[in-house]
């Protein structure tokens, strides 16, 4: 039961719209903002991310339930009733998601032709599991009270990736107003699992009287789980010697590879108004090695054990009805292990922003302050941001209002208010400091819930350290 | 000052973020309570299916056996809290019958049985007999020792030319409680 608690806590406790980094987007003080918009404004000439510390990002969420919903205390109601409520209150489009990113290397420099190049390596884990409502009801309550109800096997929908991303991008201010950028990415998948587009129903109906009391009907089932890089873990439950090396090898182009790109741009409409947009992870990973797929498909009507009372000689064994039934089911709904290669489209993301600058400018001629990031713009800005990520069932969206302020030449902050699939009151806060060449940032989401994470649908944390050279 | 500001924010995040108003020990009270409806055995018999008695005073009888492998599985033993067998029999024989279902262990030892009479059809039209038996407590412990069932139907006649047909359908409702998550 403790294990169950841990799983629930991990799934729904620390789990927004994964990968939405509304705090980081458009904050040109931070080199990692180029990862969200390769066409962002760059006002430094060189940067080095502190290896393994330049971006640590964790983001997780559950759109339909919180830890508090299940484990609330004082517990005035039975926990089993709360779980029942949680199951029935969620839709099959609610989801659990976890994203974690760790930047290993990130560097950038401006060349003599005013191109700003940047590149690096980061590791990412990204998983989404839609709430399998019908299967949860079947598992939680059984079929007894659901005669004639068609349980949808299509509710089973999950995918996850652990991968390393190698990237290189270029950014250039092509005119006084327009900055464009693009980034090429090579994905090295460590493992992937995908179970989407499942079909079929299971229903128990009262029979027509010709056979038995019920017809337990599995109708047009087609359930698939595609995996790559996972088989070695399953084959050796104790962990094969050198498994660490195996993972490392797959991270270093030894696994399944993919390609993709990011593009983006920023247009300075006026001294005050700036619009920007980007398209990230337009690409795919081609899973060709260590692939193991499982597919169960077919239809079957389980009517029970049909006795035929054969005449048997003394000592003759009875007919193997049960074995025959199992064989019939296996034949009607075979579970195949396949080794077909497959392609997974990366979850493409769209960012867009509209920003209005105002206030006292830092770094312009009217001020002797050092130019620290926002150049000739005012020290404050408000704006709107839009984010979308393409997920297996449908795209998810988030809209953000923000206020940015540069307090001093070395300290800035951004506060965001985001409405997304998880909540409509996600307040986030980010602080960015430039201490000499050291650039430090930290941002957290869901501040209104930070006092009690158990009540949060979503928590996100990102922090990092860079060296910046103006 | 600026470094302190960042440190203060970082510490605030660590110090003021917490999980409260929750009690994870409640997980011990989580119990899955399933009610599973499942078909059991079914068959149709004519007089030709019955066999002559082995003793002169006996009646025509049919016997068949099938495994029910899951019944003595650890999962069933640990989690079924009660089971209700339901039988529906349609009979057009002009005589009564007796149905017996004897559950046997892997060693063919009988630990539990269900008996019920089947009503006569006076005029050859189908007469429906319904019978249900709820099994719980010690009886359930006995039931889940078994992995096969012997179905025996005895028709109260020795007339092997008797007209009629018997159709038996059955289901089991398993009530499960599962707390070992």
- Select the residue from B7, B42, B54, B179 to test the A interface by mutation, using most A Cβ atoms within 10 A: B42
DSSP, collapsed to helix, strand or coil, labels residue A152 as strand
Q: Please report the DSSP string for A282-333 in residue order.
A: EEEEEE-SSEEEEEEEEEEEE--EE-------TTPPPP-HHHHHHHHHHHHS
CB distance A4–B39 less than 8 Å? no
User: Are B131 and B100 contacting, i.e. CB atoms less than 8 angstroms apart?
Assistant: no
Distance in angstroms (rounded) separating the CA atoms of residues B77 and A194: 35
Instruction: Tell me the pLDDT band of A315, cut-offs 50, 70 and 90.
Output: confident
Which of A306-310, A404-408, B82-86 tops mean pLDDT?
A: B82-86
Q: In the predicted model, what is the mean pLDDT of residues A398-410?
A: 91
Indicate the Cα dihedral angle B118, B119, B120, B126, nearest 10°.
Answer: -100
At what angle are helices A79-89 and A133-141 packed, to 10 degrees? 150
Lowest mean pLDDT among A117-126, A399-408, A444-453, B147-156: A444-453
Higher pLDDT, residue A404 or A367: A404
Q: Tell me the chain B residues in contact with residue A322 when contact means C-beta distances shorter than 8 Å.
A: 66-69
Res. A466: pLDDT tops 60: yes
A184 CA: distance to closest CA in chain B (Å): 33
Give the model's pLDDT for residue A366. 44
φ, ψ for residue B141, nearest 5 deg = -60, -40
Instruction: Tell me the pLDDT band of A241, cut-offs 50, 70 and 90.
Output: low
Q: In the predicted model, what is the mean pLDDT of residues B146-151?
A: 94
CB distance B35–A304 less than 8 Å? no
Instruction: Tell me the pLDDT band of A348, cut-offs 50, 70 and 90.
Output: very high
User: How confident is the model over B70-96, as pLDDT tens digits?
Assistant: 888 898 899 999 999 999 999 999 999
For residue A404, give the H/E element and its range. Answer: strand A396-406
Distances (CA, A) of A402 to A22, A24, A411, A440, B73: 9, 11, 17, 20, 59
Q: Structure pTM?
A: 0.82
B2 CA: distance to closest CA in chain A (Å): 7
User: How confident is the model over A198-226, as pLDDT tens digits?
Assistant: 999 999 999 998 999 999 999 999 999 99
Distance in angstroms (rounded) separating the CA atoms of residues A220 and A23: 46
For residue A60, give the H/E element and its range. Answer: strand A56-62
Measured at the CA of A226, the angle between CA A220 and CA A230, to 5 degrees, comes to 145
**% of chain A beyond a pLDDT of 90:** 58
- Provide Rg for chain B, Cα atoms: 28
Measured at the CA of A58, the angle between CA A54 and CA A63, to 5 degrees, comes to 155
Q: Where are the domains of chain A?
A: 2-129+159-192+239-289+345-469
CATH no. of A2-129+159-192+239-289+345-469? 2.40.160.40
Give the model's pLDDT for residue B16. 56
Q: Tell me the chain B residues in contact with residue A139 when contact means C-beta distances shorter than 8 Å.
A: 32, 34
- First and final C-alpha spacing in chain B: 51
Retrieve residue A182's tokens: 């693009």
- Residues 134 through 163 of chain A touching chain B, CB cutoff 8 Å: 139-145, 147
CB distance B26–A79 less than 8 Å? yes
Res. A394: pLDDT tops 90: no
User: How confident is the model over A5-39, as pLDDT tens digits?
Assistant: 444 444 443 334 456 788 999 998 899 999 999 99
CB distance B29–A78 less than 8 Å? yes
Res. A237: pLDDT tops 90: no
Res. B12: pLDDT tops 80: no
User: How confident is the model over B42-64, as pLDDT tens digits?
Assistant: 999 999 999 887 777 678 999 99
Beta bridge partners of A377: none
**% of chain A beyond a pLDDT of 70:** 87
Q: Tell me what the pLDDT averaged over chain A comes to.
A: 86
A375-413 b/e (C-beta count within 10 Å ≥ 16 → b): ebbbbbbebebbbbbebbeeebebebebebebebbbbbb
A204 CA: distance to closest CA in chain B (Å): 8
Q: In the predicted model, what is the mean pLDDT of residues A320-332?
A: 94
CB distance A212–B171 less than 8 Å? yes
Instruction: Tell me the pLDDT band of B8, cut-offs 50, 70 and 90.
Output: low
Instruction: Tell me the pLDDT band of A245, cut-offs 50, 70 and 90.
Output: low
Give the model's pLDDT for residue A257. 93
User: How confident is the model over A274-298, as pLDDT tens digits?
Assistant: 999 999 999 999 999 889 999 999 9
Instruction: Return the number of other C-beta atoms located less than 10 Å from residue A91's C-beta.
Output: 12
Q: What is the ipTM of this complex?
A: 0.87
B32-39 and B166-178: which strand pairing?
antiparallel
A349-361 and A378-389: which strand pairing?
antiparallel
B89 CA: distance to closest CA in chain A (Å): 11
Map out the domains of chain B with their CATH numbers: 30-178 (2.60.120)
């Amino acid at each position: 039961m403790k294990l169950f608690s841990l799983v629930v806590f991990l799934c729904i406790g620390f789990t927004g719209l994964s990968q939405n980094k509304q705090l980081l987007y458009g904050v040109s003080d931070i080199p990692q903002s180029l990862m969200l918009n390769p066409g962002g404004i760059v006002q430094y000439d060189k940067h080095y991310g502190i290896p393994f510390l330049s971006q640590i990002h964790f983001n997780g969420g559950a759109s339909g339930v919180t830890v508090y919903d299940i484990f609330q205390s004082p517990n005035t109601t039975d926990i089993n009733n709360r779980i029942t409520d949680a199951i029935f209150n969620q839709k099959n489009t609610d989801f659990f998601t976890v994203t974690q990113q760790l930047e290993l290397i990130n560097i950038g420099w401006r060349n003599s032709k005013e191109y700003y190049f940047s590149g690096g390596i980061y590791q990412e884990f990204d998983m989404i599991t839609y709430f399998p409502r019908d299967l949860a009801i079947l598992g939680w309550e059984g079929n007894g009270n659901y005669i004639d109800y068609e349980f949808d096997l299509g509710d089973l929908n999950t995918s996850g990736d652990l991968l390393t991303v190698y990237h290189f991008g270029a950014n250039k201010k092509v005119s006084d107003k327009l900055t464009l950028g693009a980034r090429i990415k090579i994905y090295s998948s460590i493992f992937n699992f995908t179970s989407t587009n499942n079909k079929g129903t299971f229903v128990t109906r009262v029979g027509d009287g010709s056979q038995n009391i019920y017809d337990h009907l599995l109708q047009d089932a087609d359930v698939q789980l595609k995996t790559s890089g996972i088989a070695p873990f399953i084959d050796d439950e104790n962990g094969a010697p050198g498994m660490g090396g195996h993972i490392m090898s797959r991270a270093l182009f030894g696994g399944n590879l993919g390609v993709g790109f990011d593009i983006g741009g920023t247009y300075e409409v006026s001294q005050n108004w700036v619009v920007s947009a980007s398209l990230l992870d337009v690409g795919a990973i081609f899973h060709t090695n260590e692939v193991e797929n499982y597919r169960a498909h077919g239809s079957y009507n389980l009517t029970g054990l049909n006795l035929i009372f054969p005449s048997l000689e003394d000592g003759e064994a009875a007919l193997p009805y049960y074995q025959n039934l199992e064989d019939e089911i296996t034949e009607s709904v075979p579970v195949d292990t396949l080794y077909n290669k497959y392609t997974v489209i990366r979850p493409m993301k769209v960012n867009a922003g509209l920003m209005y600058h105002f206030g006292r400018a830092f770094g312009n001629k009217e001020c002797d302050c050092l130019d620290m990031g926002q150049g000739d713009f005012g020290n404050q800005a408000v704006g709107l941001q839009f984010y979308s990520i393409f997920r297996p069932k449908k795209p998810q969206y988030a809209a953000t209002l923000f206020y940015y302020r540069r307090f001093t030449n070395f300290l800035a902050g951004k506060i965001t208010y985001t409405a997304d699939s998880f909540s409509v009151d996600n307040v986030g806060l980010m602080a960015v400091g430039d201490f000499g060449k050291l650039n430090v940032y930290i941002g957290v989401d869901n501040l209104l819930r930070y006092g009690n994470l158990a009540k949060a649908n979503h928590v996100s944390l990102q922090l990092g350290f860079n060296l910046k050279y103006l | 000052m600026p470094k302190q500001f960042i440190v203060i924010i970082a510490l605030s995040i660590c110090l003021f973020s917490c999980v409260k108003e929750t009690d994870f020990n409640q997980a011990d009270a989580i119990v899955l309570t399933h009610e599973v409806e499942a078909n059991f055995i079914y068959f149709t018999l004519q007089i030709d299916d019955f066999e002559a008695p082995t003793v002169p005073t006996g009646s025509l009888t049919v016997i068949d056996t099938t495994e029910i492998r899951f019944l003595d599985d650890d999962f069933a033993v640990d989690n079924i809290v009660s089971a209700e067998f339901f039988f529906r029999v349609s009979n057009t024989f002009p005589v009564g019958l007796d149905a017996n279902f004897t559950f046997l262990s892997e060693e063919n030892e009988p630990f539990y049985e269900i008996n019920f009479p089947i009503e006569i059809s006076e005029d050859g039209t189908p007469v429906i007999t319904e019978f249900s038996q709820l099994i719980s407590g010690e009886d359930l412990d006995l039931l889940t020792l078994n992995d096969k069932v012997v179905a025996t139907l005895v028709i109260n006649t020795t007339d092997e030319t008797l007209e009629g047909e018997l159709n038996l359908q059955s289901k089991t409702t398993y009530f499960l409680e599962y707390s070992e998550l």
